Amino acid sequence: MMAFFSSGGEAAVMLLFLLLAVRAPPAESVRCHPLHLLPCFGAIFYSRPPSSKCCAQLREQQPCFCQYKRDPILMSYANSRNGRRVASTCGVPNTRC
């Protein structure tokens, strides 16, 4: 009789973990907001070397590049020679959309 409750208890615990895993919120996704790229302002507009903060933000915002390239206000910066240079310097590959 004890073995029955033990295996039932294990099954209940496994079911609980399964339910929690299904209900767990998804991993935090990137918030696409061009202001996150402010550390790159000097590098893009004044051809300064990009800072480590700029490169970190570029890597974080990389999933947003196609959105930025399609935005009428941002496309000229996202597609600019300096924008591509900064991304290349930071080791961020050019995103084809």
Each residue of 59-83: pLDDT tens digit?
999 999 999 999 999 999 888 999 9
Q: What's the CA gap between 81 and 5, in Å, rounded? A: 68
Closest by Cα among 91, 89, 80 to 49? 89
Domain ranges of the chain: 34-89
Do residues 62 and 92 touch, judged by C-beta distance below 8 A? Answer: yes
Q: Tell me, rounded to whole angstroms, the distance of Cα 83 from its chain centroid.
A: 18
Tell me: domain 34-89, CATH 1.10.10.60, correct?
A: no
DSSP per-residue letters across the chain: -HHHHHHHHHHHHHHHHHHHHHHSPPPPPP---GGGGGGGHHHHHH-PPPPHHHHHHHHHHGGGHHHHHHSTTTHHHHTSHHHHHHHHHTTPPPPP-
Instruction: Give the per-residue pLDDT at 35.
Output: 94
User: pLDDT-derived band of residue 89, with 50, 70 and 90 as boundaries?
Assistant: very high
Q: Mind listing the pLDDT tens digit for each residue in 20-63?
A: 333 333 445 779 999 999 999 999 999 999 999 999 999 999 99
